[in-house]
Amino acid sequence: MEGQVEVQFTILCENDFHKKISMSDLLASEKVIKAIKSAFCEGARNLEISSDMKDVKISIESEKKVYTHIIEKNDIQDILELTEEFARNQKLLKGTCTRVELKNFKTVEG
């Protein structure tokens, strides 16, 4: 196989945050209800906030920068190792940030 592949990845750290919260749990929080009323219902009284979509999940995650590098198509079987090596060479892996997460890869048209 000839050609190249563009690889997109992020850096994973030990203290990364990831949580999913259901709409019903969110609306059960008095602090959230007060914040919604304060932001969107100023001056209104005797309000009840509800949702028809109780099974909706809201994700809260650490924001991640997506990095990109190019590998040869012949090396696609080593994509993870090559990406980790690239991240080390670019000094992206440091401290508690010691892993990469592959996000996407696509063929580069030459």
Phi, psi (5° rounding) for residue 14? -60, -35
d(CA 40, CA 33): 11
Number of structural domains (the chain) is 2
Contact 67, 8 (CB under 8 A): yes
The vertex-6 CA angle with 110 and 93, nearest 5°, equals 145
Q: Is the pLDDT of residue 1 over 80?
A: no
5-56 tens-digit pLDDT: 999 999 999 999 999 999 989 999 999 999 999 999 988 888 888 888 878 9
Q: Over the stretch 52-92, which tens digit does the pLDDT of each residue have?
A: 887 899 999 999 999 999 999 999 999 999 999 999 999 99
Range of the domain at 33: 19-60
70 and 101 share a domain?
yes
Same domain, 23 and 77: no
Residues 76 and 109 in one domain: yes
Task: Please name which of 100, 77, 76, 106 lies closest in space to residue 87, comparing C-alpha atoms.
Answer: 100
Instruction: Judge if 88 and 107 occupy the same domain.
Output: yes
Query: What pLDDT does residue 110 have?
Result: 64
Query: Which pLDDT value is given to residue 30?
Result: 93
Q: Provide the CATH number for the domain around residue 69.
A: 3.10.20
- Asked if residue 95 and residue 56 are part of one domain, the reply reads no
